[in-house]
Structure 1
Amino acid sequence: MRGLILTLALLSPSLATAEILAAARTLPAGTVVTAADLQLTANDRRGLSDPSEAIGLQTRITIYEGRPIQASLLQAPKLIARNQIAQVTFQRGPLRIVAEARTLSDGAAGDVIRVMNLESRSTISVTVQADGSLLALN
């Protein structure tokens, strides 16, 4: 009896399909996903089903039209780009120092990245803040 049920499940695609999110258009790598970029489709592949899980995230790779949207294809949006000139703030108590630095990698909110101080040419670690500012680690 179990063999018959398993065989029917494998042969009948309608039993295994579910409504999942798919790309409504081709989304190049680095695109921030909006509601217009998503469509619900019946598919037997795994993927996200709730639009709120994808909207506002950035694509890691190009996602072609009609391809199911999977969590592994998305990441938090990058706020800082590599080689960007940005201000770094160091604060300890009442002391506050602001310096310009060149970022050595991309960064999303909460990421720790390395930057090079433009005056001293030394590299330091900073935390990317939610507003895109950089805060030097103590």
Structure 2
Amino acid sequence: MRALAVMIALIAGPGFADTVIATRTIRPQELISAGDVRIDPANVDGAHQSLDEVIGQEARIALYAGRVVMQGSVGEPALIDRNQMVELIYARGGLRIAAEGRALARGGVGERIRVMNTGSRTVLFGLIAPDGTVLVTK
């Protein structure tokens, strides 16, 4: 019985994983909808394998029609744009300092970006919080 299962597996050949393909050209910073991508039975290393991983995400680079959507080419939609005024929050222990800052990069929730404290002109790094504030890390 086990020999029969092994023979069936060998005859079936190598398994293929699904790969996400762009159905139209998607520009950078554009949100990806269900009609923009499809699944093809192919095995491409480093490519997204599920539509759920891509739909609702933002294109980081141009995605061309008929080409594979690689990991790293899409990400969380940007919550903060470059040069946008943001609230900077520094919190350690019981201390919490809030200041006004300017974003020096574009990013989505959880991304680390550079920001400038507009009061002191100091450039800092921070993580973007879901509410649009930047949690200063250094």
Give me the TM-score of the superposition, normalised by structure 1. 0.70
Segments of 5+ residues of structure 1 without an aligned counterpart are: 1-14
The answer on 1:130 being equivalent to 2:130 is yes
Paired letter, 1:73:
S
Task: Describe the SS at the equivalent of 1:71.
Answer: coil
Equivalent residue, structure 2, for 1:8: none
Distance 2:55 2:109 in 1: 16
Paired letter, 1:61:
I
Query: How many residue pairs align between the two structures?
Result: 123
- Structure 1 residues 48, 114: closer, same or farther in 2, change over 3 A? closer
- Structure 1 residues 38, 118: closer, same or farther in 2, change over 3 A? same
Distance 1:72 1:91 in 2: 31
RMSD of equivalent CA atoms: 2.7
- Structure 1 residues 121, 45: closer, same or farther in 2, change over 3 A? same
Equivalent residue, structure 1, for 2:66: 66
Equivalent residue, structure 1, for 2:20: 21
Distance 1:16 1:93 in 2: 52
Tell me how far 1:128 sits from its aligned partner.
1.0
Paired letter, 2:129:
Q
Paired letter, 1:65:
A
Paired letter, 2:19:
I
- Structure 1 residues 124, 72: closer, same or farther in 2, change over 3 A? closer
Paired letter, 1:123:
V
Paired letter, 2:55:
I
Task: Describe the SS at the equivalent of 1:130.
Answer: coil
Tell me how far 1:86 sits from its aligned partner.
0.9
Distance 2:17 2:111 in 1: 35
Give me the TM-score of the superposition, normalised by structure 2. 0.70
Q: Please, which moves more after superposition, 62-71 or 45-54?
A: 45-54
Paired letter, 1:27:
I
The answer (yes or no) to whether the contact 2:80–2:132 under 8 Å persists in 1 is yes
Task: Describe the SS at the equivalent of 1:127.
Answer: strand
More helix by share: 1
Equivalent residue, structure 2, for 1:35: 34
Task: Describe the SS at the equivalent of 1:52.
Answer: helix
- Structure 1 residues 65, 101: closer, same or farther in 2, change over 3 A? same
CA deviations on 1:30-59 (whole Å, 9 max, x unpaired) are 2222212112345x5624332112122222
